[in-house]
Structure 1
Amino acid sequence: MTTTIQALDLPFDEAIAFFREKMSVTSEHWTDIWQKANSRAFTVAGATTQALVDDFRREVAKALERGTTLQDFRQSFDDIVKRHGWEHVGKPGWRSRVIYETNLSMAYAAGRYEQMTEPTTLTMYPYWQYVHSGAKHPRQEHLSWNGLTLRADDPFWKTHYPPNGWNCGCRVRPLSAKGLERQGKLKPDVSPIIDTRPWTNPKTGQIVHVPVGIDPGFDYNPGDAWRQLGSAT
């Protein structure tokens, strides 16, 4: 499996800027900070003290700025857990990977979005193509989107810009008109119809409708949310 982290050059300024602008926020449940709010908040589900959240944030920042590995992060994770006496859900190896990969993938996605929406870049590369991670056991919807090529301003990217779930390694690459032709296409694909399914928030009981194939809370574009929330402040 090729993850977003492996597919991109590390580090790069836009991804680092995205993460640096986040505020550390405590939480009890992973749904406390929901969807687009994650573009401005750094949180670890169940981390209820500011010092604990700050320590995790510092280690994720190291990974972005210095390229530290998952193994490095896991060692720091164990040290932080011991120092704070944190009782977390899930095994340490699984929990540390979720924190590390989710935060880095979101930062890289937002940073790449910032790069691809530069006016000059959009003029040269007006199309975006969905690239599946190549996971051994893929989500079938994610696999079905592999190679899907749409205009950069297509509404599809508002909800389906990857990552589209926990441990999702999918990404988007820009494509020029010539690149489209080389793939045997005279024009971009037809934007898919977006089907949704009801999902009940286990903490609040609220029912929301989530696009099929996307994990709850991931149906947004982190780069676009970062830009929109930034312009609102």
Structure 2
Amino acid sequence: MADLEQLPPWNKPFAQQLAFFKKKLNLPSERWDDITRQAHDKAFIVAGAQGADLLTDLHNALNTAIEKGTGIQAFRKEFKQIVQKNGWTGWTGEESAAKTAWRTKVIYQTNMTSSYAAGRWKQLNNPELLKALPYWQYKHNDSVTFPRPLHQSWNGLTLPPDHHFWKEHYPPNGWGCQCRVVPVTKSTFMKAVANGRGPADAPPPGNTEGIDEGFNYAPGANVDMSLAQVVQDKMITYPRAISRALSKSVNNRVLANESIPNAVEELKNNLEANETLFLGFAEDPDRLREVIKESDYYLTKNQTTEPNLNHLMLVVNSDTIRHVENSHGQDGNNVDDKTKRVQIPPAPEDYAKLPLIVNEADAIVRSAQEIRKERSTVTPVVKFQKEIDGVMYTAVMEVLHGKKNRSLSLITMFIRTVW
């Protein structure tokens, strides 16, 4: 069998592959299948690794391997150092040198192939490329020692990019799979159809025979799925320290995310948009619980249990963004007669500061305004205040604590100078 380091694509990194892998969130896990399918587009896991520092080191090691093409031997050396540094024990593969070699190969190869495939997905969907090469062709790597017969049977299938086949059969399609996809011309597509390798010859939708468990998805096709969907339910089952570390990791990602202001600007200007924008997680449920314990929520007859305030999502919907713009978009000329403070119109960049405003608030107070959902259900409203660079931010948020919708939803936001 060809040496692992010499097989494409692992020693030929490219920008789209690197960008995909860098954006992944470190997610603690116990088993390799703690998350499956599309969730891998958002989360980086190594089965059994739960410490934040451990996951960061492993993520960085693989990121270096992708960026510099250093190869599996360099990764194995760094893996050994990371394990020793973090005191990680009890992991599958530590029993012997042979098992360690197997485990490091799985970690390395799986991340390299999936990130490569995701980068290729980004490339293949480039509009200019699609104009010139509008069809995709499945390619089996004939150099593997033990080829999978069904993977071989898909070799040469040539289909439109939106064909159902790619949603489940876009490679890799299993552990160690080295199949790939190449773009081709319309004439190549017509030849493939004539040779029995066109759409009529693809497996029917839902037929995933020949695909290993957890691989029946297209890496890179789901990078826009909600990060909240991936992690919120899992945080409930984690130990408190790990959950808080994960919350901080998500929030740091949000603060560094340049796409949030762009998304806010788009929703503000699109009057027909009806979307909810995820901005992070609340990190301190105890502080929030203390603030709302005297709210009318506890005085209603039908509320017999405390609300679940753990790991509430921070969200803002498009209607609120437009409300803030209509109510405070011209605040730059407003001066409070008593305090002489100048009110500042919120900018799209200010929405990305909400995790900081909520989780490091200088003050949290219960609003006198509480939202009544029907007659007997009350939703508490809380004000978060935070001074940042001489400016006081106030975020008024509704506390939603249902089973399916657990979040702090922004009602309005205003900003004033503190001098």
TM bracket (short chain): 0.7 to 0.9
Give the AA of the match of 1:44. Answer: V
Partner of residue 83 from structure 1, selected from 82, 85, 89: 85
- Aligned 8 A contact 1:78 1:92 in 2: no
Alignment of 1:81-160 (within 5 A): 81-86=83-88, 87-90=90-93, 91-134=99-142, 135-160=144-169
Q: How big is the shift at 1:83?
A: 2.2
Alignment of 1:163-174 (within 5 A): 163-174=172-183
For the pair shown, which has the larger CA radius of gyration, 1 or 2?
Answer: 2
Give the AA of the match of 1:149. Answer: T
Give the AA of the match of 2:125. Answer: T
Structure 1, unmatched stretches of 5+, are 197-210
Give the TM-score, by structure 1 length. Answer: 0.85
Deviations 1:45-64 (A, max 9, x none): 01121111111100000011
- Aligned 8 A contact 1:26 1:53 in 2: yes
Question: Percent sequence identity over matched residues?
Answer: 42
Partner of residue 220 from structure 2, selected from 223, 226, 229: 223
Q: How big is the shift at 1:9?
A: 7.0
2:16 is aligned to 14
1:40 is aligned to 42
SS in structure 1 of the partner of residue 220 of structure 2: helix
Number of residues paired by the alignment? 219
Q: How big is the shift at 1:16?
A: 0.7
- Aligned 8 A contact 1:128 1:150 in 2: yes
Provide closer, same or farther for how the CA distance between residues 67 and 8 of structure 1 changes in structure 2, counting only shifts above 3 A.
Answer: closer
Q: How big is the shift at 1:192?
A: 2.1
Following the alignment from structure 2 to structure 1, what is the Cα–Cα distance between the partners of residues 59 and 10? 21
Following the alignment from structure 1 to structure 2, what is the Cα–Cα distance between the partners of residues 116 and 29? 32
Which is strand-richer, 1 or 2?
2
Structure 2, unmatched stretches of 5+, are 94-98, 228-262, 264-276, 279-419
1:176 is aligned to 185
Higher relative CO (Cα under 8 Å, sequence separation at least 6) belongs to 1
- Aligned 8 A contact 1:127 1:152 in 2: yes
Deviations 1:123-181 (A, max 9, x none): 11111111112212111111111111111110110010000111111110111113345
- Aligned 8 A contact 1:163 1:218 in 2: yes
1:71 is aligned to 73
